């Protein structure tokens, strides 16, 4: 079982890993792009991700969720990963981090 400090450290590793994955159409990582709606890590190290994509026609709609599962599963302390894709609420650029907005010149 993971205590609160372990889960916090695990969350840091999960976020770092998500920030290493990029949308192929926008040169910003999926975390700062706002595609990740929620991350939950339980006491057993199971990671649940609720995410969306920029559009249902996104070219990585089929490949990105399994890639996320694979990358996160490789983190020590992660016992299982479940990625759920939702279309509600739909993604829009207001979900982007300030860093992403600056990178794309949206200010």
The closest alpha carbon to 84, from 68, 105, 104, 107, belongs to: 68
The domain ranges of the chain are: 4-90
Does domain 4-90 match CATH 3.30.300.130?
Answer: yes
- Residues with Cβ within 8 Å of residue 86, at least 6 apart in sequence: 37, 50, 51, 52
Q: Which residues pair with 47 in a beta bridge?
A: 41, 81
pLDDT in tens, 43-65: 999 999 999 998 888 878 889 99
Backbone region of residue 45 per phi and psi (left: phi > 0; alpha: psi in -120 to 50; beta: other values): left
The residues of the chain scoring below 70 in pLDDT are: 1-5, 107
pTM, rounded to two decimals = 0.89
């Amino acid at each position: 079982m993971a205590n609160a400090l372990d889960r916090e450290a695990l969350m840091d590793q999960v976020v770092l890993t998500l920030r290493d994955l990029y949308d192929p159409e926008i040169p910003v990582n999926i975390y700062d792009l706002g595609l990740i709606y929620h991350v939950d890590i339980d006491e057993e190290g199971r990671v649940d991700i609720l995410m969306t994509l920029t559009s249902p026609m996104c070219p990585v709609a089929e490949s990105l969720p399994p890639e996320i599962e694979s990358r996160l599963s490789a983190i020590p302390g992660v016992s299982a990963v479940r990625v759920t894709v939702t279309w509600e609420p739909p993604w829009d650029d207001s979900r982007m981090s300030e860093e992403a907005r600056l990178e794309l010149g949206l200010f």
